[in-house]
Amino acid sequence: MFINDEEQLRGQYGTMHPLAVRKVLDRLDDYCKRFIALSPFLVLATSGADGTLDASPRGDDPGFVQPIDDHTLLIPDRPGNNRVDSLCNVVATGQVGMLFMVPGLRETLRVNGTARLSTDPALLATAVVGGKPPISCLLVTVQEAYFHCGKAIIRSHLWEPERALPKGSFPGIGRIISEQLKVGDPAELEQAVEEESLRTLY
């Protein structure tokens, strides 16, 4: 049996808790800003004009995402593989959703809003690492911000060290690409990808 409309969905799940509605802010308060300052990792969700969807990881030292004010975030964009799927979507629709995580904390922070892509040298200069500015940055206008309960983190045991996968127990991306695309020597490509990743972090 499939659920095909919101009425069926609400019937299956019941009434929303009043606090789940009231907790949604239209700005960043001090708790949100403190959480973002502690966060080294977020997932950025975007949508294109044709309905294309993308969810992309973003990570750096804690505090790499900077609250400019109560309604604005600056997210630096570092070197990658130049697919720029997320950025293409931002240019097309400007719609973004973000999930911030802090290792060791069960709760996550969800932030939704609109974004613009900027190459303003003054903005890029605020996110220099090792003498290198980001290629561009996202300026996010916050429309919704709220903390999400920790049930998913509790169920997944995400931050428990004993649950971490032992190093080498799953193939690296270089080997995977080599074997999926039938190109290059898997071991050589694995080493090349590792070296390239470390050399071009910033």
CA distance 72 to 170: 39
pLDDT of residue 105: 98
Rounded Cα distance between 48 and 190, Å, is 32
Please give the mean pLDDT across all residues of the chain: 95
C-alpha span between 69 and 30 (Å, rounded): 11
The token pair that represents 164 in the structure block = 């971490």
Q: pLDDT by residue (tens digit) across 66-122?
A: 999 999 999 999 998 899 999 999 999 999 999 999 999 999 999 999 999 999 999
- Ordered by start, the domain boundaries in the chain are 14-156, 165-199
What pTM, to 2 d.p., does this model score?
Answer: 0.94
Residue 160 has pLDDT above 90, yes or no: yes
3-state SS, residue 105:
coil
pLDDT of 170 over the 90 cut: yes
The C-alpha torsion from 119 through 135 and 97 to 163, rounded to 10°, is: -160
CATH of 14-156, one of 2.40.160.60, 2.30.110.10, 2.60.120.620, 3.90.230.10: 2.30.110.10
**pLDDT score of 20 more than 90:** no
Whether residue 19 has pLDDT greater than 90: no
CA atoms within a 13 Å half-sphere pointing along the CA-CB vector of 183: 4
Report how far residue 135's alpha carbon sits from residue 66's, in angstroms, rounded to the nearest whole number.
Answer: 16
Query: Span 145-172, mean pLDDT?
Result: 95
pLDDT of residue 34: 98
| CB-neighbour burial class of residue 129 (10 A; exposed 0-12, middle 13-18, buried 19+) | middle
Instruction: Give the tens place of pLDDT for each residue, 33-67.
Output: 999 999 999 999 999 999 999 999 999 999 999 99
Give pLDDT, residue 71. 98
Band (17; pLDDT cuts 50, 70, 90): confident
| pLDDT average, residue stretch 166-174 | 92
Lowest-pLDDT range of 12-16, 30-34, 177-181:
12-16
Question: Per DSSP, what are the bridge partners of residue 5?
Answer: none
**Confidence check: pLDDT of 153 > 90:** yes
